[in-house]
Amino acid sequence: MDILSLSYEELLAQCLEMGEKKFRVEQLYQWLWQKGVRNFDEMLNLSKSFREQLKQRFYFQTVRVDSQLHSKEDGSTKVAFRLHDGVFVEGVLIPSKDRLTACISSQVGCGLACTFCATGAQGFTRNLSVGEITDQYFALNEIAKERSGHGVSNIVYMGMGEPLQNYNNVMKSIARLTEAKGQAMAPSRITLSTAGIAKFITQLADDGFACNVAISLHAANNGLRTKLMPVNKANDLQKLSDALAYYYEKTHNRISIEYTLLKGVNDSIEHAREMADFTKRFPVKINIIEYNAHEHSQFEKSDKETFNAFVAFLERLNLIVTVRYSKGKDIQGACGQLAKKIAKQ
């Protein structure tokens, strides 16, 4: 049994069945989710007989750091993680003035095939397990401490894959990272980014999701958005708007809108007006993102004048707008650039 897939209550039931005391399960859970230990032999306050029983009953499905690539421009670090079946995912450490963010993956590849994204060009292989998701954070946290002297402050589910298509494992991973028995991270420090799958956004609302939600919008008319993001065929803008309005009604959490400017594609003032109209039903923060090219790219980033005019138009409407200049571009670690490659220093 994959021990990292179990909640505290599930692990407690397993260990009581093995004849162990509850306080031993507390110790075991601390090793797993506060200290991030992935070897039963290192859990020295557990009896040898208990450790042997654990070895017989459970296994660890985790990740191994295969290689690292460090940006000379902004201090970002891209990490290639090797999984048990030989496939790879990538994660990124992103430093900024007041935070150190771990960008983690939820799938090997991605099946949504967004035309501007390198991960989408790779296709979908499989979902990641709870341990494979959380242990990217543990590994990046250790790298952060080694390189900067302090750990990760924020987590973004913005790496490879569509998190909501791996809903159960992603939610379990967030529970391990936020619960008091785990890493006890404030939900406000975690952001889940999605291409906008309406039924799962509704489910987030019903489940009382407490973390931040960011919607990869990139176009606010159906024809263009479907061309850029095939997921829009089944989740058109009306369905997405309805789901987001429901989400805000239930949670009262402001929604982030991610919008990447592509030269001559979605960067006109009319496109900005369409996005502003889309956001009228719920409060939003808009992140305007500079496009990051990759080897499969057919697009270019907007020129500076067009970019600035787009932002200025939204600001004149009193919308909250932030310009995101992506980090890690020199190591192919920026938004939309992650692919199933082995990072080489």
Q: Which of 126, 139, 156, 167 is nearest to 67 (CA)?
A: 139
Place of tokens 């529970």: 175
Query: What element of type H or E holds 213?
Result: strand 212-216
Point out the catalytic residue in the list 103, 110, 114, 335.
335
Question: Over 90: is that where the pLDDT of 186 sits?
Answer: yes
| Residue 1 CA, distance from chain mean position | 26
pLDDT in tens, 53-112: 999 999 999 999 999 998 888 889 999 999 999 999 999 999 988 899 999 999 999 999
**pLDDT (0 to 100) of residue 292:** 81
Q: Is the pTM of this model over 0.85?
A: yes
Q: Which of 161, 159, 291 is nearest to 218 (CA)?
A: 291
Question: Over 60: is that where the pLDDT of 338 sits?
Answer: no
Question: Over 90: is that where the pLDDT of 297 sits?
Answer: no
Provide the pLDDT confidence category of residue 339 given band limits of 50, 70 and 90: low
Provide the pLDDT confidence category of residue 293 given band limits of 50, 70 and 90: confident
As a whole number, the mean pLDDT across the chain is 93
Half-sphere exposure of 219 (CA within 13 A, CB side): 21
Point out the catalytic residue in the list 90, 132, 258, 274.
90
pLDDT in tens, 156-181: 999 999 999 999 999 999 999 999 99
Provide the pLDDT confidence category of residue 326 given band limits of 50, 70 and 90: low
Residue 242 or residue 294, greater confidence: 242
Q: Which of 193, 200, 205 is nearest to 251 (CA)?
A: 205
Residue 107 to residue 263: CA distance in whole angstroms: 29
Please confirm, yes or no, whether 15 is among the known catalytic residues. no
Question: Over 70: is that where the pLDDT of 328 sits?
Answer: no
CATH topology assigned to domain 3-57: DNA polymerase; domain 1 (1.10.150)
**pLDDT (0 to 100) of residue 121:** 83
CA distances from 141 to 31, 128, 188, 333 (A): 16, 19, 18, 17
pLDDT in tens, 196-246: 999 999 999 999 999 999 999 999 999 999 999 999 999 999 999 999 999
**pLDDT (0 to 100) of residue 75:** 86
Strand partners, 68: 79
**pLDDT (0 to 100) of residue 52:** 97
Residue 4 to residue 130: CA distance in whole angstroms: 6
Q: Hey, how many other C-beta atoms are within 10 angstroms of the C-beta on 139?
A: 22
| CB contact set of 81 (below 8 Å; sequence gap of 6+) | 63, 64, 65, 66, 88, 89, 90, 91, 105, 132, 136, 139
Q: Homologous superfamily of 63-331 in CATH? A: Aldolase class I (3.20.20.70)
pLDDT in tens, 110-155: 999 999 988 888 899 999 999 999 999 999 999 999 998 899 999 9
Locate the domains of the chain by residue range.
3-57, 63-331
**pLDDT (0 to 100) of residue 74:** 84
Please confirm, yes or no, whether 90 is among the known catalytic residues. yes
Helices (H), 161-229: 167-178, 198-206, 222-228
SS3 content of the chain, % helix, strand, coil (to 5): 40, 20, 35
